[in-house]
């Protein structure tokens, strides 16, 4: 771990750089900027004392998604990927702080993805035409986001390998529960305070469970986590979790368990961080793909009618959302 100083206006790292370090602000202010130095640059967030940035890179080396700039004279602590366990060990509260930082990004990205999906759905209802100034502005916004995106490559096989490796039930565990088939583990709309790890059996996540509009969103099995935003941010559950087999066994992990879990079983905490990182990577990929559809619409607006093929793509995406 290294303490570094940056003068006002100095760049800490640039968008597109490959990084393997995260930073905690010891003093000063840092701006995280998309499209830095370009005519349409956008300040994504401004961070202050004790806040983290660059945390995705320490979980998995990956191109920086934005530029970090010292907004005033700033001191940071730089933590390399090989130092993360020592960093947590010195102060286990940092585990929770980093998870909250990642969880906040996941929550914000989920809202952005919902916004771009709703925009595409509105376009589909209008046969691919932007019939209002508000809709046209949204299309432009998402087209700009797509044009800025640098990391459209697939999730790395190393990440997928780590996520599917055996061992979630190995070592120290927290509270373990077994459920019969059909048992509701939590309901859509409930405020969460924990996350779950499937040790055996399977769990379905449903929208509108038990109604005529019921939809299975995903099926989770051995070595898969779910419900992490409930643990991190106490947010309302976005779906209903239901045991799909008898003897479905899950581990229940609350934020108050994380210090002890790290002390007793550090690899498990690393697995949770890798899971949240994967969720962010995957959702980012889906978000950029959706922005790409609107970028195509933006490119042809005012140049003629939207092609039948593009209308079909918009309608196909909308249908996928509601199937």
Where is pLDDT greater, at 63 or 201?
A: 201
pLDDT at 192 over 70: yes
Distance CA 6, CA 134 (A): 40
Options 3.40.630.30, 3.30.465.10, 2.60.120.10, 2.170.120.12; CATH for 2-85 is 2.60.120.10
Cα dist. 75→15, 83, 173 in Å? Answer: 20, 19, 38
Digit-coded pLDDT (tens) for 106-124:
888 888 999 999 888 887 7
pLDDT at 151 over 60: no
Digit-coded pLDDT (tens) for 259-295:
888 888 888 888 888 888 888 888 888 888 888 888 8
Check residue 130 and give its pLDDT.
62
**Apex CA 71: angle with CA 68 and CA 76, to 5°?**
65
Mean pLDDT of 287-313: 75
Q: Rounded to two decimals, what is the model's pTM? A: 0.77
Q: Do domains 2-85 and 172-257 have the same CATH topology?
A: yes
How much of the chain, in percent, has pLDDT values that exceed 90?
A: 34
Distance CA 164, CA 265 (A): 18
Q: Please give the CATH architecture assigned to the domain spanning 172-257.
A: Sandwich (2.60)
As given in the structure block, the two tokens for residue 120 are 């595409």
Distance CA 110, CA 238 (A): 11
Check residue 85 and give its pLDDT.
78
The domain segmentation of the chain, as residue ranges, is: 2-85, 96-156+276-322, 172-257
């Amino acid at each position: 771990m290294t303490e570094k100083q940056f003068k006002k206006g100095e760049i800490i790292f640039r968008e597109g750089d490959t990084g393997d370090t995260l930073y905690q602000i010891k003093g000063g202010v840092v701006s995280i900027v998309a499209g830095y130095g370009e005519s349409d640059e956008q300040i994504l967030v401004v961070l202050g004392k004790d806040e983290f940035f660059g945390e995705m890179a320490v979980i998995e080396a990956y191109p920086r998604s934005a530029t970090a700039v010292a907004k005033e004279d700033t001191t940071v602590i730089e933590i390399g990927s090989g130092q993360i366990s020592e960093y947590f060990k010195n102060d286990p509260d940092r585990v929770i702080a980093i998870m909250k930082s990642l969880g906040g990004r996941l929550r914000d990205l989920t809202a952005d993805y919902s916004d771009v999906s709703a925009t595409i759905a509105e376009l589909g209802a209008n046969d691919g035409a932007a019939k209002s100034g508000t809709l046209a502005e949204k299309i432009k916004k998402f087209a700009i986001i797509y044009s800025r995106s640098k990391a459209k490559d697939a999730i790395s096989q190393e990440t997928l390998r780590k996520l599917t490796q055996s061992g979630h039930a190995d070592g120290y565990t927290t509270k373990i529960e077994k459920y019969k088939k059909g048992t509701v583990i939590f309901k859509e709309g409930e405020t969460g305070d924990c996350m779950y790890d499937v040790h055996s059996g399977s769990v379905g996540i449903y929208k509108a469970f038990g109604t005529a509009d019921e939809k299975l969103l995903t099926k989770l099995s051995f070595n898969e986590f779910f419900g992490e935003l409930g643990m991190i941010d106490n947010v309302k559950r976005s779906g209903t979790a239901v045991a799909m087999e008898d003897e479905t066994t899950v581990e229940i992990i609350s934020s108050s368990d994380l210090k002890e879990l790290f002390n007793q079983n550090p690899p498990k905490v690393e697995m949770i961080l890798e899971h949240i990182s994967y969720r962010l990577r995957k959702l980012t990929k889906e978000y950029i793909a959706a922005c790409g559809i609107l970028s195509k619409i933006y490119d042809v607006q005012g140049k003629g009618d939207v092609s039948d093929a593009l209308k079909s793509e918009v309608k196909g995406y909308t249908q996928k959302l509601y199937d």
